Amino acid sequence: MRKKFYPKLAMQFPAIVTSDAGIRLKVIGLEVSTEGLTIQCSTAERNLITPRGSFIHNGRPLELDLQINLSKSSNQENIVVARCHVIFSRRITKNTCQIGLVFLEISDENHTRIKRLIETSSIATAA
């Protein structure tokens, strides 16, 4: 398998994920790239999103709706929405987990917002 490298921006930002079952949770975004992002949540929240860490359902990756705010202000222009696949779920500590998401459906406008933020940030790294 070839690993792809995308610039990513390591920063904390508020995020809301909504499962197909209608479970809506506020979580923390940790890093974002033009291809997806990593979120952090509690183990209990992880179990609501990916039951016991399983991110495959009926032979397919779980899908979530995502809303993130990539700035300090609550201006609607800074809100990005997307549909995502879960690509990993890992426990970091006893009570903390990380979930990796890849964008499945994202508008060109929202994709451009993310790309512009990464390009103008001095702390973007390749990964």
In the predicted structure, residue 41 carries a pLDDT above the cut 90 = yes
| Topology of the domain comprising 10-120 | Thrombin, subunit H (2.40.10)
pLDDT the model gives residue 127: 53
Q: pLDDT category, 70, cuts 50, 70, 90? A: confident
Q: What's the confidence (pLDDT) of residue 125?
A: 54
Give the helix/strand (H/E) hosting 15: strand 7-19
Radius of gyration of the chain (CA): 14
Nearest alpha-carbon partner for 101 in 21, 8, 35: 35
Contact 30, 40 (CB under 8 A): yes
Residue 44 CB neighbours (<10 A): 10
pTM of the model: 0.85
DSSP assignment letter at 49: H
Q: pLDDT tens across 77-123, in order?
A: 678 999 999 999 999 999 999 999 999 999 999 999 999 888 888 55
Residue-range domain boundaries for the chain: 10-120
In the chain, count of helices (H) and strands (E)? 2, 9
Take residue 7 and report the two structure tokens written for it. Answer: 């610039």
